[in-house]
C-alpha cells in the first residue's frame, strides 16, 4: 500500500516536471507549427512532390501523344524532327515516332520506357473506363479465392518459399479427399456495370494521387466485391504497412524520447541525487517516473485507433512495443555520457527497432515470418482478420521478455555509482553486468546472465532472418549462420565480462573452465525454455535450422557452447580483457565451422 | 560585440570534431546511414524480386500444375502454350481437394459466358493463402489473363466508342534496373541524411553547454558566446561534405555513375548549412534539448514538405545533376541557397546577442 502511494507521488512529480517544460515559450510555437504542418501538407498534397521532375527527355512527332504523357512531370517533352535517326544525339531518352516507341541503350533508357509503359497503361485505362459498354473494354473479371491449406506450415517451414515449387506431373493429381460442398462461382450481372465503373475509377484515383493514397488507407473502404480486372491482379506493394508503422511508431518514439531525457536530466548535474538518497526503492522510482509516459503512449495509441475506427483489440499487440521502447529509453538515458551520444544511440536503436517491426509485417497475409512483428497483428485487426492467442504469444513474447529483462538490469543498477559515472558505452555495459554478479553465488549469476541474454539473441537472429531470407540460397543461409554464431559468441562473452568487472572470483584457469561450462549450460537452458514458448514454427524451417541448429541433441550443443565460450575465456585469460574481440572472433570461427559441418548437405 | 575571432572559432570547431571522434558517435552516425541505405535497398530490390519472378532464374523451368474447371477452351489453350504451367481438366471437387493438399499450384474455374456475350467473362482463381509461392504463381497467371483479356477485347472491339492511340515499344525492357529508385530516391536521401544528423548534433552541442552549466566556464576564456556557437556550427557543417563525398564514392564504386559530382556536393553543403543554421537558432533560443529537438523536428518536416512542393527545388536539382541533365539555372537556385544561409547567419547572430544580454 505504501509502495503504491510512493509510486503515485513519483508519477505526479514527473507530470508536474513535464508541465514545467511545456512553458510559455514552447506551447504557442508548437501549436503554430502544428497548424503550419497541416497547412503545408495540404499545400504539398495539392502541388505534388517535385522530386523526380524532368528526369527523362522524350521526343514526340505528334502532339497527340501529349495525352499519354499528360501531367507526368518526370518527362520533359520535345518535338521530334521527322528525319531523326539517332535519338541519343539529341539528348533524348525516349522517342515516339509514328506510333512506335524508341529508347536509348542503357539503364536510363530502360527506366524511362518502364515509366512510360506505366503511364500508357493508365492512359489506356482512362480511355476504356469512359466506354458506354464497360464490359467490352473490360471483358474479363477475376475473382480471387484463397484456400487455407492444412499443410501450410509444413511447406513454409521447409524453407520452400520460392526455391522448391512442386514439379507438375503429366497426369492430373489425385486428392486423397476430394472437396465436397462446393459453391460454384456466381457470374456477374449486367446491371452492376456502373458500380464496377466507379470501383475502377476509385482504384485509378488511388494510384494517381500520391498523398491521397496514403490518407485513404487508414479509413478502410471495402472495394466492391472481390472482382478485379487482370491488370489489377498483382499483389500490392506494402505501402499500407509503411503507413501503419509511421502512424503508430513515431508518436511512441517521441514520447519515449521525453522519458529518456527525464532520466538523462536526473543525471546531469547530479540532480537526481536527492531522489536516489530517499528511502524509495529504485523499482518504485523507475516505475513512477515511467508511469506518465506509458499512460501517455497508451492514450495516443487509443486515440489513433479511435480515429481510424479500428477495433480496440489492436491495442494489445502494441503494449509490448510500448514497453520495449520505454525499456530502451531507460537504458539509453542511463548510459549516455552526453546529449550527442544520447541522440545517436537512440536514433540508431529506433531505426533498428522500426525495421524489426516493419520488415516482417510487409509479409502480412503472405508468409508466416510476418507474425514476428506485433504490427502484423494490428494490420490483421484493421483489415478484419483478427488474431489468435497463439499468434499473440508468438509475436509479442520476445518483446515482453527483452523489455522485462532490460528493466530488471536497469533497476538493479539504478543507484549513484552507476548513474553518475562518465564511462563509455561499453564500459558502462560491463559495469552493469558486473553488478549482476553475486559474490557468494557467482556461479548461479553466470547461468542467469547467459540465460537472460537469450531473448536478445533471438531478436537479433530474427532480424537477420527477415533481412536476409530473400537473398539467394546458400548465401542467405551461410550469412545468417555466421551472423548468428557471432551474436551468440558476443553475448556469451558477457558472462566473462561480468566476472572480470565484478573482480571476484579471480580468473584462474579453473574458473575459466567452470565459467565456460556454466555459461554454456545457462545459454542452452534459456534457449530451450524460450523455444518451448515461442518460435518452434520458425525453428523447424531450414533457416531456423541455421539459427537454432544446436537443439537436436543436448550434450553436443552443450559442449559446443561451452567449448566456444572457452575459446573466448582462454584468450582473455592469456592476453587480458583487451583481447576480447579476438576471443569472440576465434569462438565465432569455431562455431561457424561446426554449423557448416552440420549444414553441409544444404549448402553444397 | 565585435567581429568573430576566427582563431577561437576554429579552436572550438576542432575541439567538437575531436569529441565526435573520441565518443565514436561519428562512426555510429555513419553506421546508421549505412543501415538505412541497406534497409531501403532491401525493401525495394528484395520486394521487387519477390513480386517479379523473372528475376529468379531458377524459378523458370519449373512447371506448376493448374487444375482447370469449366469448358473455356481459349483460356485452356493459353495455359497449355505457357511453358510454366501444365493445366489439367478436372472436376471442381478433386481440383480443390488437390489444391488443399498442395498437389496443385492453383485452380482456375471458368464461367460459361461466351467471348462475344453481353456479360463479362468471369474467372475464379483459387490459390493457397499465406504462401509466397502463391504470390509468384499469381504474377505468372496474371500474364496469361492479360493475354486472354486482349483476345476478348478484340472479339468485342466493335462495341467500343473510341480506342486509345496505339504506341508499341520497338524493343521490350527485360530487366528492371531500379534506376528510378536509385537516382530519384536513394541518392537524394543518402545525401541529405548527414544534414539531418548534423542539425540534431548542433542542437545537442549547444544545449548541452547550457544544461550542464559548462558555458560559464567557457565564457571565462576570451571566447564570446558568438565564437562558441559559430565554432559548433562550423564543426557540424564541416562533417557534411565528408559524409556526402563518402556516399558518392561508395555509390560510384558500386557501379552507379553520378554526373557533376562537384555541383552536387556544393548544393548539398549549402542546403545542409541552412538546416544546421535553423537548428542552431532554435537551440540558442530554447537552451533546452527536449524543447529544441521537438521544435526542430516539427520544423524540419514543414521545411522539407514545403521545399518539395516547388519544382526545381535543390533536392530535385540534385537528382537531375546526378542523372546528368540539369538545367543551367541550377546555379541560380544554388545562389538562392547561399542567400538563405546568409540571412540565417544574421538571424543566429541576432538571436545570440538577444540571449547574451538577457
* Together in a domain, A416 and A443: no
Q: How far is CA B127 from CA A154, A468, B81, B202, in A?
A: 17, 26, 21, 55
Residues 6+ apart with CB under 8 A from B123: A140, A141, A142, A143, B72, B75, B108, B109, B110, B111, B145
Residue A297 confidence (pLDDT) = 93
CA distance A176 to chain B (A): 8
Which chain B residue has the Cα nearest residue A262? B290
Helix A2-21 to helix A282-307 angle (10° resolution) is: 60
Among A42-51, A371-380, A535-544, name the one with the lowest average pLDDT.
A535-544
What's the burial of B37, exposed, middle or buried (CB within 10 Å: 0-12/13-18/19+)? middle
Determine the Cα angle at A424 with ends A579 and A344, to 5°.
115
CA distance B222 to chain A (A): 25
* Together in a domain, A455 and A600: yes
- Which chain B positions have a beta carbon within 8 Å of A145's beta carbon? 124-127
Helix A315-335 to helix A374-382 angle (10° resolution) is: 150
The answer to whether A165 contacts B64, with C-beta atoms less than 8 Å apart, is yes
Residue A347 lies in a domain: yes
Evaluate whether B314 touches B235 at the Cβ level (below 8 Å).
Answer: no
Which residue would you say has higher pLDDT here, B219 or A158?
B219
Residue A477 confidence (pLDDT) = 76
By the CB < 8 Å criterion, does B86 face chain A? yes
Residue A431 lies in a domain: no
ipTM of the prediction: 0.84
Binned at pLDDT 50, 70 and 90, residue B130 comes out as low
Binned at pLDDT 50, 70 and 90, residue A502 comes out as confident
Element of type H or E holding B87 = strand B85-89
Q: Which among A208-222, A439-453, A523-537 has the top mean pLDDT? A: A439-453
Nearest Cα to Cα of residue A199 among A216, A221, A214, A218: A221
Q: Measure the CA–CA gap between A556 and A18, rounded to whole angstroms.
A: 54
Q: Measure the CA–CA gap between A346 and A330, rounded to whole angstroms.
A: 11
Proportion of chain A above pLDDT 70, given as a percent: 81
Residue B20 confidence (pLDDT) = 84
Confidence check: pLDDT of B354 > 70: yes
* Together in a domain, B81 and B39: no
* Together in a domain, B106 and B235: no
Total domains in the fold of chain A? 3
Confidence check: pLDDT of B340 > 90: yes
Confidence check: pLDDT of B117 > 70: yes
* Together in a domain, A411 and A328: yes
Which residue would you say has higher pLDDT here, A313 or A223?
A313
Q: Decide which of B124, B157, B190 is a domain's last residue.
A: B157
* Together in a domain, B41 and B67: no
What one-character DSSP code corresponds to residue A221?
A: -
Say how many C-beta atoms besides its own lie within 10 A of residue A83's C-beta.
5
Total domains in the fold of chain B? 2
CA distance B258 to chain A (A): 12
Q: Torsions phi, psi of B110, nearest 5? A: -95, 155
pLDDT digits (tens, 9 = 90+) for A446-458: 898 898 888 888 7
Nearest Cα to Cα of residue A464 among A447, A441, A442, A486: A486
Q: Measure the CA–CA gap between A535 and A532, rounded to whole angstroms.
A: 7
By the CB < 8 Å criterion, does B135 face chain A? yes
The answer to whether B295 contacts A30, with C-beta atoms less than 8 Å apart, is yes
Residues 6+ apart with CB under 8 A from B235: B12, B13, B14, B16, B17, B20, B205
Confidence check: pLDDT of B320 > 60: yes
The answer to whether B62 contacts A165, with C-beta atoms less than 8 Å apart, is yes
Residue B171 lies in a domain: no
Nearest Cα to Cα of residue A523 among A561, A550, A486: A561
For cell 528511502, name the residue. Answer: A279
Residue A427 confidence (pLDDT) = 85
State the virtual CA torsion across A320, A321, A322, A328 in degrees, nearest 10.
100
Residue B169 lies in a domain: no
* Together in a domain, B74 and B202: no
Evaluate whether A353 touches A360 at the Cβ level (below 8 Å).
Answer: no
Which chain B residue has the Cα nearest residue A51? B316
| Mutation target among B63, B124, B286 for the A interface, most CBs of A within 10 A | B124
* Together in a domain, B183 and B315: yes
Per the structure block, which three cell numbers stand in for B222? 576570451
Which chain B residue has the Cα nearest residue A114? B173
Per the structure block, which three cell numbers stand in for B273? 548549412
* Together in a domain, B68 and B113: yes
The answer to whether B86 contacts A268, with C-beta atoms less than 8 Å apart, is no
Which chain B residue has the Cα nearest residue A160? B133
- Which chain B positions have a beta carbon within 8 Å of A144's beta carbon? 124-125, 127, 138
CATH code of residue B152: 3.40.190.10
Q: What is the DSSP string of A434-485?
A: HHT--STTHHHHHHHHHHHTHHHHHHHHHHHHHHHTTS-TTHHHHHHHHHHH
Residue A224 lies in a domain: no
* Together in a domain, A478 and A387: no
Residue A217 confidence (pLDDT) = 40
Confidence check: pLDDT of A267 > 50: yes
Q: Measure the CA–CA gap between B128 and A145, rounded to whole angstroms.
A: 8
* Together in a domain, B222 and B239: yes
* Together in a domain, A442 and A551: yes
Binned at pLDDT 50, 70 and 90, residue A547 comes out as low
Residue A462 lies in a domain: yes
State the virtual CA torsion across A165, A169, A172, A176 in degrees, nearest 10.
-60
* Together in a domain, B81 and B117: yes
Chain A, 320-339: which have a CB under 8 Å from a chain B CB? 337-339
Residue A51 lies in a domain: no
The answer to whether A351 contacts B171, with C-beta atoms less than 8 Å apart, is no
Residue range A525-539: mean pLDDT, rounded? 66
Residue A604 confidence (pLDDT) = 54
The answer to whether B319 contacts A150, with C-beta atoms less than 8 Å apart, is no
Q: Which among A28-32, A459-463, B343-347 has the top mean pLDDT? A: B343-347
Q: How far is CA A341 from CA A427, B19, B234, B243, in A?
A: 14, 11, 19, 18
Binned at pLDDT 50, 70 and 90, residue A351 comes out as confident
Evaluate whether B131 touches B137 at the Cβ level (below 8 Å).
Answer: no
Binned at pLDDT 50, 70 and 90, residue A12 comes out as very high
What's the burial of B124, exposed, middle or buried (CB within 10 Å: 0-12/13-18/19+)? buried
Binned at pLDDT 50, 70 and 90, residue A161 comes out as very low
By the CB < 8 Å criterion, does A130 face chain B? yes
Confidence check: pLDDT of B321 > 60: yes
* Together in a domain, A334 and A478: no
Residue B291 confidence (pLDDT) = 87
Binned at pLDDT 50, 70 and 90, residue B58 comes out as very low
pLDDT digits (tens, 9 = 90+) for B7-45: 888 998 998 888 888 877 778 788 888 877 777 766 666
* Together in a domain, B60 and B121: yes
Nearest Cα to Cα of residue A291 among A19, A18, A16, A15: A15
By the CB < 8 Å criterion, does A470 face chain B? yes
State the virtual CA torsion across A19, A20, A25, A28 in degrees, nearest 10.
10
Evaluate whether A345 touches A422 at the Cβ level (below 8 Å).
Answer: no
Binned at pLDDT 50, 70 and 90, residue B172 comes out as confident
Confidence check: pLDDT of A559 > 90: no
SS3 A237: coil
Residue B167 lies in a domain: no
* Together in a domain, B226 and B334: yes
Residue A2 confidence (pLDDT) = 85
pLDDT digits (tens, 9 = 90+) for B252-266: 887 788 888 999 999
Which residue would you say has higher pLDDT here, A603 or A349?
A349
Up-side HSE of residue A422: CA atoms within 13 Å toward CB? 5
By the CB < 8 Å criterion, does B83 face chain A? no
Residue range B301-314: mean pLDDT, rounded? 91
Residue range B130-149: mean pLDDT, rounded? 78
Binned at pLDDT 50, 70 and 90, residue B1 comes out as very low
* Together in a domain, A106 and A255: no
Q: Which among A80-84, A253-257, B11-15 has the top mean pLDDT? A: B11-15
Name the residue range of residue B224's domain.
6-46+177-356
Q: Measure the CA–CA gap between B42 and A469, rounded to whole angstroms.
A: 11
Confidence check: pLDDT of A208 > 70: no
By the CB < 8 Å criterion, does A237 face chain B? yes
* Together in a domain, A412 and A448: no
Q: Measure the CA–CA gap between B64 and B84, rounded to whole angstroms.
A: 6
* Together in a domain, A571 and A469: yes
Among A191-200, A490-499, B163-172, name the one with the lowest average pLDDT.
A191-200
* Together in a domain, B145 and B66: yes
**Mean of per-residue pLDDT scores for chain A:** 79
pLDDT digits (tens, 9 = 90+) for A382-421: 767 778 887 788 788 888 988 999 999 999 888 887 788 7
Say how many C-beta atoms besides its own lie within 10 A of residue A195's C-beta.
11
Q: What is the DSSP string of A39-94?
A: HHHHHHHHH---SSTT-EEEEESSGGGHHHHTT-TTEEEEEPPTT---TGGGT-SE
Evaluate whether A53 touches A73 at the Cβ level (below 8 Å).
Answer: yes
Q: Measure the CA–CA gap between B50 and B44, rounded to whole angstroms.
A: 10
Binned at pLDDT 50, 70 and 90, residue A189 comes out as low
Residue range A347-365: mean pLDDT, rounded? 74
Confidence check: pLDDT of A8 > 60: yes
Q: Decide which of A390, A421, A452 is a domain's last residue.
A: A421
What's the burial of B213, exposed, middle or buried (CB within 10 Å: 0-12/13-18/19+)? exposed
* Together in a domain, A288 and A391: yes
Residue A602 confidence (pLDDT) = 58
Proportion of chain A above pLDDT 90, given as a percent: 17
* Together in a domain, A456 and A340: no
By the CB < 8 Å criterion, does A38 face chain B? no
Evaluate whether A526 touches A454 at the Cβ level (below 8 Å).
Answer: yes
Helix A425-435 to helix A389-412 angle (10° resolution) is: 90
Residue B69 lies in a domain: yes
By the CB < 8 Å criterion, does B208 face chain A? yes
Residue B104 lies in a domain: yes
Confidence check: pLDDT of A234 > 90: no
- Which chain A positions have a beta carbon within 8 Å of B67's beta carbon? 172
Q: Decide which of A74, A109, A130 is a domain's last residue.
A: A130
Residue range A478-503: mean pLDDT, rounded? 89
Confidence check: pLDDT of B46 > 80: no
The answer to whether B121 contacts A230, with C-beta atoms less than 8 Å apart, is no
The answer to whether A190 contacts B118, with C-beta atoms less than 8 Å apart, is yes
Determine the Cα angle at A293 with ends B197 and A398, to 5°.
80
**Mean of per-residue pLDDT scores for chain B:** 85
SS3 B229: helix
* Together in a domain, A358 and A443: no
Binned at pLDDT 50, 70 and 90, residue A242 comes out as low
Task: Write down how long chain A is.
Answer: 604
Q: Measure the CA–CA gap between B3 and A141, rounded to whole angstroms.
A: 75
Residue A190 lies in a domain: no
Q: Decide which of B94, B129, B157 is a domain's last residue.
A: B157
Q: Measure the CA–CA gap between B181 and B256, rounded to whole angstroms.
A: 12
Binned at pLDDT 50, 70 and 90, residue A200 comes out as confident
Binned at pLDDT 50, 70 and 90, residue B285 comes out as very high
Residue A214 lies in a domain: no
Residue range B301-305: mean pLDDT, rounded? 91
Name the residue range of residue A363's domain.
1-22+235-421
Evaluate whether A344 touches A338 at the Cβ level (below 8 Å).
Answer: no
pLDDT digits (tens, 9 = 90+) for B173-202: 876 667 888 888 888 988 988 998 899 999
Q: How far is CA A163 from CA A469, A480, B62, in A?
A: 11, 17, 10
**Burial per residue of A345-369, b for 16 or more beta-carbon CB atoms within 10 angstroms, e otherwise:** bbbbbbbbbbbbbbbbbbbbbbbbb
Residue A69 lies in a domain: yes
* Residue in B65, B111, B132 nearest the CB of A185: B111
The answer to whether B295 contacts A168, with C-beta atoms less than 8 Å apart, is no
Say how many C-beta atoms besides its own lie within 10 A of residue A520's C-beta.
24
Confidence check: pLDDT of A83 > 60: yes
* Together in a domain, B252 and B331: yes
Evaluate whether A129 touches A122 at the Cβ level (below 8 Å).
Answer: no
Please compute Rg for chain A using Cα positions. Answer: 30
Binned at pLDDT 50, 70 and 90, residue A85 comes out as confident
By the CB < 8 Å criterion, does B96 face chain A? yes
Q: Torsions phi, psi of A143, nearest 5? A: -110, 115
Residue A223 confidence (pLDDT) = 42
Q: Measure the CA–CA gap between A78 and A71, rounded to whole angstroms.
A: 15
The answer to whether B89 contacts A229, with C-beta atoms less than 8 Å apart, is no
Residue B52 confidence (pLDDT) = 55
Q: Decide which of A102, A130, A158 is a domain's last residue.
A: A130
Confidence check: pLDDT of A367 > 60: no
Residue range A243-255: mean pLDDT, rounded? 78
pLDDT digits (tens, 9 = 90+) for A163-176: 334 556 777 777 77
Say how many C-beta atoms besides its own lie within 10 A of residue B287's C-beta.
15
Residue B334 lies in a domain: yes
By the CB < 8 Å criterion, does A28 face chain B? no
Residue A158 confidence (pLDDT) = 37
Binned at pLDDT 50, 70 and 90, residue A149 comes out as low
Residue B170 lies in a domain: no
Per the structure block, which three cell numbers stand in for B87? 493445366
Among A363-367, B30-34, B306-310, name the one with the lowest average pLDDT.
A363-367
pLDDT digits (tens, 9 = 90+) for A416-436: 877 887 777 788 888 888 888
Task: Write down how long chain B is.
Answer: 358
Residue A466 confidence (pLDDT) = 64
| Mutation target among B19, B180, B200, B201 for the A interface, most CBs of A within 10 A | B180
Amino acid at each position: 500500500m505504501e509502495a503504491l502511494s510512493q509510486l503515485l507521488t513519483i508519477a505526479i512529480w514527473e507530470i508536474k516536471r513535464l508541465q514545467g517544460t511545456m512553458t510559455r515559450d514552447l506551447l504557442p510555437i508548437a501549436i503554430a507549427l502544428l497548424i503550419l504542418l497541416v497547412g503545408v501538407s495540404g499545400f504539398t498534397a495539392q502541388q505534388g512532390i517535385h522530386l523526380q521532375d524532368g528526369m527523362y527527355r522524350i521526343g514526340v512527332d505528334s502532339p497527340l501523344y501529349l495525352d499519354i504523357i499528360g501531367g507526368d512531370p518526370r518527362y520533359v517533352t520535345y518535338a521530334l524532327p521527322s528525319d531523326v535517326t539517332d535519338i541519343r544525339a539529341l539528348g533524348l531518352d525516349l522517342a515516339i515516332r509514328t506510333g512506335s516507341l524508341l529508347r536509348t541503350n542503357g539503364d536510363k533508357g530502360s527506366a524511362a520506357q518502364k515509366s512510360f509503359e506505366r503511364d500508357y497503361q493508365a492512359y489506356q485505362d482512362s480511355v476504356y473506363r469512359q466506354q458506354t459498354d464497360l464490359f467490352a473494354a473490360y471483358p474479363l473479371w477475376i475473382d480471387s479465392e484463397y484456400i487455407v491449406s492444412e499443410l501450410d506450415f509444413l511447406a513454409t517451414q521447409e524453407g520452400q518459399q520460392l526455391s522448391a515449387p512442386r514439379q507438375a506431373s503429366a497426369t492430373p493429381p489425385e486428392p486423397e479427399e476430394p472437396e465436397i460442398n462446393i459453391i460454384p462461382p456466381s457470374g456477374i450481372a449486367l446491371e452492376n456495370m456502373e458500380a464496377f465503373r466507379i470501383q475502377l475509377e476509385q482504384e485509378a484515383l488511388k494510384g494517381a494521387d500520391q498523398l491521397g493514397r496514403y490518407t485513404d488507407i487508414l479509413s478502410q473502404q471495402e472495394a466492391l466485391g472481390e472482382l478485379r480486372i487482370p491488370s489489377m491482379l498483382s499483389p500490392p506493394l506494402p505501402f499500407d504497412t509503411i503507413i501503419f508503422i509511421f502512424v503508430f511508431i513515431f508518436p511512441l518514439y517521441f514520447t519515449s524520447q521525453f522519458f529518456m531525457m527525464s532520466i538523462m536530466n536526473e543525471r546531469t548535474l547530479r540532480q537526481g541525487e536527492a531522489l536516489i538518497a530517499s528511502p524509495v526503492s529504485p523499482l518504485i522510482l523507475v516505475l513512477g517516473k515511467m508511469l506518465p509516459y506509458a499512460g501517455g503512449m497508451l492514450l495516443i495509441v487509443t486515440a489513433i485507433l479511435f480515429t481510424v475506427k479500428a477495433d480496440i483489440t489492436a491495442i494489445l499487440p502494441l503494449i509490448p512495443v510500448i514497453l520495449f521502447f520505454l525499456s530502451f529509453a531507460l537504458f539509453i538515458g542511463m548510459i549516455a555520457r552526453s546529449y550527442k551520444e544520447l541522440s545517436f544511440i537512440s536514433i540508431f536503436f529506433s531505426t533498428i527497432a522500426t525495421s524489426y517491426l516493419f520488415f516482417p509485417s510487409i509479409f502480412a497475409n503472405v508468409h508466416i515470418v510476418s507474425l514476428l512483428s506485433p504490427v502484423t497483428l494490428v494490420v490483421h485487426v484493421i483489415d478484419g482478420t483478427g488474431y489468435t492467442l497463439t499468434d499473440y504469444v508468438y509475436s509479442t513474447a520476445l518483446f515482453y521478455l527483452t523489455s522485462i529483462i532490460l528493466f530488471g538490469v536497469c533497476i538493479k543498477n539504478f543507484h549513484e555509482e552507476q548513474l553518475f559515472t562518465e564511462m563509455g558505452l561499453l564500459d558502462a555495459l560491463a559495469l552493469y553486468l558486473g553488478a549482476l554478479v553475486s559474490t557468494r553465488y557467482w556461479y548461479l549469476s553466470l547461468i542467469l546472465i547467459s540465460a537472460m541474454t537469450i531473448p536478445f539473441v533471438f531478436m537479433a537472429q530474427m532480424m537477420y532472418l527477415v533481412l536476409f531470407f530473400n537473398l539467394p540460397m546458400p548465401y542467405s543461409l551461410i550469412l545468417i549462420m555466421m551472423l548468428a554464431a557471432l551474436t551468440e559468441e558476443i553475448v556469451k562473452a558477457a558472462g566473462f565480462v561480468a566476472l572480470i568487472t565484478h573482480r571476484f572470483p579471480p580468473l584462474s584457469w579453473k574458473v575459466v573452465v567452470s565459467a565456460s561450462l556454466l555459461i554454456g549450460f545457462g545459454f542452452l537452458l534459456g534457449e530451450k525454455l524460450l523455444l518451448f514458448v515461442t518460435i518452434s514454427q520458425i525453428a523447424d524451417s531450414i533457416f531456423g535450422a541455421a539459427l537454432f541448429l544446436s537443439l537436436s541433441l543436448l550434450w553436443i550443443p552443450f559442449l559446443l557452447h561451452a567449448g566456444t565460450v572457452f575459446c573466448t575465456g582462454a584468450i582473455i585469460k592469456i592476453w587480458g580483457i583487451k583481447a576480447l574481440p579476438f576471443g569472440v572472433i576465434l569462438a565465432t570461427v569455431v562455431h561457424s565451422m561446426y554449423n557448416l559441418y552440420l549444414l553441409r548437405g544444404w549448402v553444397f | 560585440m565585435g567581429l568573430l575571432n576566427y582563431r577561437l572559432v576554429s579552436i572550438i570547431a576542432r575541439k567538437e570534431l575531436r569529441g565526435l571522434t573520441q565518443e565514436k558517435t561519428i562512426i555510429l552516425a555513419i553506421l546508421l546511414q549505412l543501415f538505412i541505405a541497406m534497409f531501403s535497398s532491401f525493401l525495394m530490390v528484395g520486394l521487387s524480386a519477390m513480386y517479379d519472378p523473372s528475376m529468379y532464374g531458377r524459378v523458370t523451368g519449373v512447371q506448376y500444375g493448374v487444375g482447370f474447371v469449366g469448358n473455356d477452351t481459349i483460356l485452356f489453350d493459353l495455359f497449355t502454350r505457357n511453358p510454366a504451367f501444365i493445366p489439367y481438366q478436372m472436376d471442381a471437387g478433386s481440383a480443390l481437394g488437390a489444391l488443399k493438399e498442395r498437389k496443385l499450384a492453383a485452380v482456375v474455374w471458368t464461367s460459361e459466358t461466351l467471348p462475344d456475350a453481353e456479360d463479362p467473362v468471369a474467372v475464379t482463381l483459387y490459390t493457397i493463402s499465406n504462401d509466397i509461392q502463391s504470390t509468384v504463381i499469381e504474377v505468372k497467371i496474371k500474364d496469361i489473363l492479360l493475354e486472354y483479356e486482349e483476345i476478348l477485347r478484340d472479339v468485342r472491339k466493335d462495341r467500343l466508342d473510341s480506342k486509345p492511340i496505339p504506341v508499341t515499344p520497338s524493343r521490350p525492357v527485360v530487366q528492371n534496373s531500379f534506376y528510378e529508385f536509385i537516382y530519384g530516391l536513394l541518392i537524394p536521401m543518402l545525401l541529405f541524411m548527414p544534414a539531418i544528423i548534423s542539425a540534431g548534433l548542433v542542437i545537442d552541442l549547444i544545449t548541452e553547454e547550457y544544461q550542464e552549466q559548462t558555458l560559464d566556464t567557457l565564457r571565462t576564456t576570451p571566447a564570446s558566446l558568438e565564437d562558441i556557437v559559430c565554432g559548433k556550427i562550423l564543426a557540424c557543417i564541416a562533417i557534411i561534405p565528408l559524409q556526402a563525398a563518402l556516399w558518392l564514392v561508395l555509390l560510384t564504386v558500386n557501379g552507379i555513375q553520378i554526373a557533376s559530382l562537384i555541383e552536387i556536393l556544393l548544393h548539398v553543403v549549402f542546403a545542409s548549412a541552412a538546416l544546421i543554421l535553423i537548428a542552431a537558432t532554435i537551440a540558442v533560443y530554447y537552451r533546452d534539448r527536449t524543447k529544441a529537438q521537438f521544435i526542430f523536428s516539427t520544423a524540419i518536416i514543414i521545411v522539407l514538405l514545403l521545399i518539395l512542393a516547388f519544382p526545381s527545388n535543390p533536392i530535385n536539382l540534385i537528382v537531375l545533376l546526378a542523372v546528368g541533365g540539369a538545367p543551367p539555372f541550377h546555379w541560380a537556385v544554388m545562389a538562392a541557397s547561399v542567400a538563405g544561409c546568409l540571412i540565417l547567419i544574421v538571424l543566429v547572430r541576432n538571436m545570440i546577442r538577444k540571449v547574451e544580454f538577457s
